Structure 1
Amino acid sequence: MELQGTVKRITEIQTFTSGFQKREMVILTQEQYPQPINIEFLSDKINLLDNVSEGENVRVGINIRGREWVSPQGETKYFNSITGWKLDKVTENGQEPTHAAPSQSASPVSGQNPFASDEDDDLPF
C-alpha cells in the first residue's frame, strides 16, 4: 500500500534497551478531509527519513501491522501500527522529481493502414 501527503512532523530516533530503534513521521493526507497519519520506520529503514524535511510532499510505501494484547483482567485488545518501508519525494503534480518523463518518438502519424497495400498476402482470411 501507499500513502501520499505532506510531512507534518519527523521525530528523533528512539533507541530501546533491547537495541531496537524506531523513528516516526506524521504526514497529512491530501484529500477532502486531510488526516494526520503516524508512520513508524523501524531498524534499517530509519535512514529513509534523513533526506526529508517537514513541509515536503512524499509518497510512502507502508505495511499495516496488528497485534493482540490480553490485559491482566483477561480483556483482549487489538492494536494496529503503520510501518514505512519506502519513501519518495514527489513534486506538486504528483510525480517523483528524480524520474525523467519518457520520451516520445518524433515519427509522424498517418491515417492510412500500412498493411492495406500488401497484395502478396498469403493468409487465408
Structure 2
Amino acid sequence: MSLEVTGKIVQVMDEVNGTSARGNWKKQEFVIETAEQYPKKICLSVWGDKVEALKQFKPGANVTASINLESREFNGRWYTDVRAWRLQAAVEGAEGGQFEAHPQEFGQENNENYTATEADDLPF
C-alpha cells in the first residue's frame, strides 16, 4: 500500500542509531501537520539513507511524503508504523492528505450511448 500525505513539518526528533544482526541502522521521526479544515498531526519515520533526505527540510517547510503503513503485534498490543519512503517539497496549493485522483461526481455518469425515448416505459 502506498499513500501520500502533504503537510508542514512541525517537529523533527533526534536521530536514533543501533546495530542489529544485519548491521548498523539509523532512524529518525518527524511530525507534520496537514492543512485541512481540521488539521491533523502525523508522526512519520524515515530509515537508513532517507534520514539524510529529511535533513534538507527544516521545521516549517511544506513537504509531500510518500508513505507505507504497517502494523505489528507485540505482547497482545498492535503498533502502527507510518514510514516515509520519499520526501519532496510540497507543490504550492496542495492540500494535506488529499489524493491526486478526482472521482466522478455522484449522478454525473457517462451515458454517451443512452438516449431517452418516449416509449421507455420501464417501471424502474
Same fold flag (TM > 0.5): yes
The equivalent of 1:21 in structure 2 is 26
Aligned to 1:20, the other structure's residue is in SS state strand
- Counterpart for residue 122 of structure 2: none
Query: In the TM superposition, what whole-angstrom CA distance separates every residue of 1:26-84 from its partner, at most 9, and x where no partner exists?
Result: 000111111110000011211111210110111000000110112xxxxx211101000
What amino acid maps onto 1:24 in structure 2? E
The alpha carbon displacement at 1:17 in A equals 4.2
Q: Which amino acid aligns with 1:3?
A: V
Q: What is the aligned partner in structure 1 of residue 35 from structure 2? A: 30
Unaligned runs of at least 5 residues, structure 1: 71-75, 95-125
Would you identify which runs of 4 or more consecutive aligned residues in structure 1 move more than 6 Å?
Answer: none
Distance 1:12 1:80 in 2: 20
SS at match of 2:49: helix
Equivalents in 2 of 1:91, 1:65: separation in Å?
27
Structure 2 gap segments, 5+ residues each: 95-124
Name whichever of 15-24 and 52-61 sits farther off.
15-24
So what's the TM-score if we normalise by structure 1?
Answer: 0.66
Paired residue for 1:85? 85
Cα distance between partner residues in 2 of 1:69 and 1:3: 27
Q: Which has the higher contact order (CA 8 A, sep 6+)?
A: 2
